Amino acid sequence: MAFNTPFSFPLPLMPSPPGVIVQEVVQPLQIIQHSGPILHPLPFVPPPPMIHHPLPMMYHPQPIMYHTAPLFQHHIPHHQHYHQRHHSHPPQHHRALPVPAPAPTPAITRATFAHPRTVHIITYSTQQHAASPAVQAEIAAARPANVPKLLTVHAENWPLPPPELCQRCSGVSAAIQDFVKNNAEGSRCIDTAVNQTIGHLLNGQHTVLLEVCCGAGTHRSVAAAEIMAQRLRRKGVQNVVVRHLHRVRKPGDVR
């Protein structure tokens, strides 16, 4: 018996009591009985899914929990990764600890050393130093004998004080020194020089030499040397000797 159906596979036949058959539907909900086997309805075939998965979906009777990777992975030796993955604890929220501030440079006192410490500071003009071999010889003669030079502070690239201030006073005045201290580059260089000097004195050096230079050798280098001498004395250095080789005295200078 042929049926008009959209499916192409054969219809399954199942045995039934003799004398009962199912004929094609003449009208809706009307079945004519005949002798013969029972013809069962077609099996339900679900429609194709709207979203296609290229890989087969596998199901597990129990859910499997996976540990997600952290946003930031620290450098851990390879042999420790297995232990971390299989012996990890539940994630905990930790507060970030504040980074401690660096310890200040320790000050030395007169009781720190059995012998006093001495710091020599010399200032000079880079313009005169470059133009005259005689000035170079003068600077070399001003250096104390057998005293190692620790460092040279180059102040020629720092900002210049206002012209009216430079005409009135030199670097020994408080006004020029305040101008230098308010400059970020100058303040940083002065702090570095003082801290390195204290470190060498604490490591057993008895005497050191510092040199400071600028264009004219009158304003920025002189002010930096005076500020360094003040801070070294406050930190406990017993002897600080300052020599300004090319400083030009101004009307507003007190000395």
End-to-end CA distance of the chain: 131
CA–CA separation, 209 vs 120, rounded Å? 5
Closest CA to 193 of 174, 218, 211: 211
SS3 call for 33: strand
Q: Identify residue 105 by its one-letter amino acid code.
A: T
Tokens representing 179 are 């101008």
Question: What letters, b where the CB count within 10 A reaches 16 and e where it falls short, cover 156-191?
Answer: eebeebeeebbebbbbbbeebbebbeebeebeebbe
Percent pLDDT > 90 in the chain is 49
pLDDT over threshold 80, residue 9? no
For 204-225, what is each residue's pLDDT tens digit? 889 999 999 999 999 999 999 9
Residue 208's CB: how many other CB atoms inside 10 A? 20
pLDDT over threshold 90, residue 232? yes
Structure confidence at residue 29 as a pLDDT band (50, 70, 90): very low
Percent pLDDT > 70 in the chain is 55
Residue-level pLDDT at 254:
84
Closest CA to 170 of 112, 216, 133: 216
Give the distance from CA 59 to its chain's centroid.
Answer: 46
Whether this prediction's pTM lies above 0.75 is answered by no
Q: Identify residue 211 by its one-letter amino acid code.
A: E
SS3 call for 199: helix
Residue-level pLDDT at 45:
61
For 178-188, what is each residue's pLDDT tens digit? 999 999 999 99
**Distant-in-sequence, close-in-space partners of 10: CB < 8 Å, separation ≥ 6:** none
Residue-level pLDDT at 115:
76
H or E element in which residue 176 lies: helix 174-181
Q: Identify residue 97 by its one-letter amino acid code.
A: L
For 37-95, what is each residue's pLDDT tens digit? 555 555 666 655 544 444 444 444 454 444 444 433 344 344 444 445 555 555 555 45
Tokens representing 32 are 């004519």
